[in-house]
Structure 1
Amino acid sequence: MSSASTTRLSAGMLAAFAAIYFFWGTTYLAIAVAIREIPPFISGSMRFMLAGLAMYVWLRWRESKPLANVDLKMAALAGVLLTGVGNGFVVWAQQGIPSGIAALIVTAVPVIVLLLDWAFFSKRAPTRQALIGTTVAVIGVVTIVTHTRSLSGEAHPLYLASLLLATVGWSFGTLIQKRAVQPGAVLSFTCAQMLFGGVFQLFMSVVDGEWSHFDPSIITWSSLAAVAYLVVFGSIVGLNCYLWLLTKVAAPKVATYALVNPVVALLLGTIVLNETLTPLVIMATVLVLAGVGLVLFQDVLKPSRLRSFVSRRAPAVAPGE
């Protein structure tokens, strides 16, 4: 039986990767629209509590006790770390930190997951292909961000600390939930996790005093549509694909979403906002995709397997030729 680290990617896994790569890349724009009129933690609590409740109703319709096979303590821990700290503090930090700096820090997730998994969880050292692929992809993202976004302006230490906390929280949560969820209870675990994360963000909205200056009367249909998009595609579709992938493949591979999302956001900006796509950015995008491809398909691209592949397909050479 192959381990998660050596599992070959099936069509379903590739589809799930495509979902988190694309939908979580588009959430940058949706979040920006939502927080124009709805404070960060309030919008986050709306997003995850609505998504969790919708999933619970659907699961309850299918079975009498949808959360019976879920370790609620682990779901609460994963929910607070991922959807609470990991998502909530990133959105909150974007109130006072340049988006370019935010994007740079978030791309550290695959690296942090790789190192945390090595140090505290699987104890397996990252492969050479994984290290090279992650490094190449990070270089590509850094090039994109520094070329397309202004990194000028001061980043308040509190917002910077919030972003760093979110990145570490998401990375720890990823590794914890990978070991906590049962393969047959992915939907139930995601449901519980989102509810706990939503409650945590609701608590943070009170701590941060967001309700004192929140005026529901100014909410427009565009903000509501953005929240609805985040509920359906960012949470219900995205998180379920993410958690399902964690039951199938190694966490560092799944964490490559953080490297692809900025590229998707960039392409979306080019299409929707008519932003310029320069040759340098195109080259950097190729770097990102090449690096991520090396991480995802590192088992197939091992030198020994490539030699075996070539030898099996090489034509036989007759003596004297």
Structure 2
Amino acid sequence: MSQKTKIYIALGLVYVVWGSTFLGVKYAINVLPPMLVSCTRFLIGGSLLFIFTLLKGEGLTSMKETRNAAFIGVLLSGVGNCVVAYALQFMPSGLVALLVATLPAWMILLDFLLFSNQKPTIIGSIGLVLGLVGMAFLLNPSHQINQREVALFPALLVFGGSIAWAFGSLKSPYLVLPKPLQSTAIQMTVGGCFSLIMSLLFEQNQLHALQSMRQETYLAMFYLITVGSYVGYTAYVWLINNAPPQLTATYAYVNPVVAIFLGWIFLNERLTPRSMVASAIILAGVIMMTLGRKRKQKEVFFE
């Protein structure tokens, strides 16, 4: 299988699987606190995956590799997923996925400021401005709190999580990491530990919530651990180390479409006209940002 084929398969998995995890988290937080969902999901998933890699004979990782994987894990599965789970309490899953879709903008800005120092292309810059206009229209900051369709504080937290995710994704290729499966396992486990700390600090009645889990909650957690983490997260970790960052970031404008569709089918979520217009503007901007990636990156990928 060629490298290009592997990249397409991994992208397809991230497109579909991660778009569906918003629905899974939405079901889980009906009973469990959001940060406890992230904690349970990644601690169980990461620990079992690490044990599996040891049984395969991969051996223990070095201290340097473990430290680097842990650092990326805090940023991605820790900060990134905690804020998404928290925001899903206040907004439809499709809108949260749409806020996460700003990831390419943060990746372009951070890549320019901290990594490659490559300026975005003209079409990428136009897309960046268009995305910001769409966000301003969606968040509607000039209106009173009770007139906004999107909760401002959770939305800002999602932006912060996206920035952390973008930085971790850009930094990952520069670090010495364990083999892909062990790197994924360590990142998930450390992200779960981070989520556990956040849950203990900011949430209450965790034990009561765990005791109140019903069949729907168990099924949602099983899906998040097996499909969302093992399939989706592993595919993403592989992508950020084997594909151009802007190409990897294209999942951000597919996930909202999947999340909006699933939210409509299973949760009867509806977007208001304002949200639909803002969604169209934001997604158009994100697509332009992606299309505006450097020609050099295209040439490297398609050689």
Normalising by structure 2, we get a TM-score of: 0.79
**In structure 2, C-alpha distance between the alignment counterparts of 1:241 and 1:56, rounded to whole Å:** 16
Residues 102, 265 of structure 1: alpha-carbon distance in 2 compared, 3 angstrom cutoff:
closer
Q: Decide whether the 8 Å contact of 1:45 with 1:198 is kept in 2.
A: yes
Cα deviation 1:223-268 (Å, max 9, x = unaligned): 1111111111211111111111111222122122122101111232
User: In the alignment, residue 218 of structure 1 is paired with which amino acid?
Assistant: S
Cα deviation 1:76-116 (Å, max 9, x = unaligned): 22111111111112211332456566344322111001110
- Map 1:147-158; keep pairs closer than 5 Å: 152-153=148-149, 155=151, 157=153
Structure 1: runs of 5+ lacking an equivalent: 1-7, 305-321
Aligned partner of residue 214 in structure 1, secondary structure: helix
User: How well do the aligned residues superpose, as a CA RMSD in angstroms?
Assistant: 3.9
Greater shift in the superposed pair: 16-25 or 292-301 = 292-301
The structure 2 residue matched to 1:253, chosen from 247, 252, 264, is 247
Paired position in structure 2 for 1:102: 96
Q: Decide whether the 8 Å contact of 2:94 with 2:259 is kept in 1.
A: no
**In structure 2, C-alpha distance between the alignment counterparts of 1:145 and 1:99, rounded to whole Å:** 16
Q: Decide whether the 8 Å contact of 2:15 with 2:255 is kept in 1.
A: yes
**In structure 2, C-alpha distance between the alignment counterparts of 1:276 and 1:162, rounded to whole Å:** 23
The structure 1 residue matched to 2:229, chosen from 231, 235, 239, is 235
Q: Decide whether the 8 Å contact of 2:32 with 2:213 is kept in 1.
A: yes
Paired position in structure 2 for 1:75: 69
**In structure 1, C-alpha distance between the alignment counterparts of 2:18 and 2:132, rounded to whole Å:** 18
The structure 2 residue matched to 1:35, chosen from 29, 33, 42, is 29
User: In the alignment, residue 31 of structure 2 is paired with which amino acid?
Assistant: E
Pick the structure with greater CA Rg: 1
Paired position in structure 2 for 1:179: 174
**In structure 1, C-alpha distance between the alignment counterparts of 2:180 and 2:232, rounded to whole Å:** 13
User: In the alignment, residue 165 of structure 1 is paired with which amino acid?
Assistant: G
Aligned partner of residue 179 in structure 2, secondary structure: helix
User: In the alignment, residue 79 of structure 1 is paired with which amino acid?
Assistant: G
Paired position in structure 2 for 1:4: none
Paired position in structure 2 for 1:117: 111
Residue correspondences, number: 291
Greater shift in the superposed pair: 193-202 or 242-251 = 242-251
The structure 2 residue matched to 1:13, chosen from 1, 7, 16, is 7
Structure 2: runs of 5+ lacking an equivalent: 141-146
Q: Decide whether the 8 Å contact of 2:14 with 2:236 is kept in 1.
A: yes
**In structure 1, C-alpha distance between the alignment counterparts of 2:149 and 2:281, rounded to whole Å:** 29
- Map 1:80-95; keep pairs closer than 5 Å: 80-95=74-89
How big is the shift at 1:132? 5.6
Cα deviation 1:171-191 (Å, max 9, x = unaligned): 112112232254x72221111
Residues 133, 213 of structure 1: alpha-carbon distance in 2 compared, 3 angstrom cutoff:
same
- Map 1:165-314; keep pairs closer than 5 Å: 165-182=160-177, 185-211=179-205, 214-272=208-266, 288=283, 292=287, 295=290
Greater shift in the superposed pair: 250-259 or 83-92 = 250-259
Q: Decide whether the 8 Å contact of 2:138 with 2:150 is kept in 1.
A: no
**In structure 2, C-alpha distance between the alignment counterparts of 1:247 and 1:232, rounded to whole Å:** 22
Percent sequence identity is 30
Normalising by structure 1, we get a TM-score of: 0.75
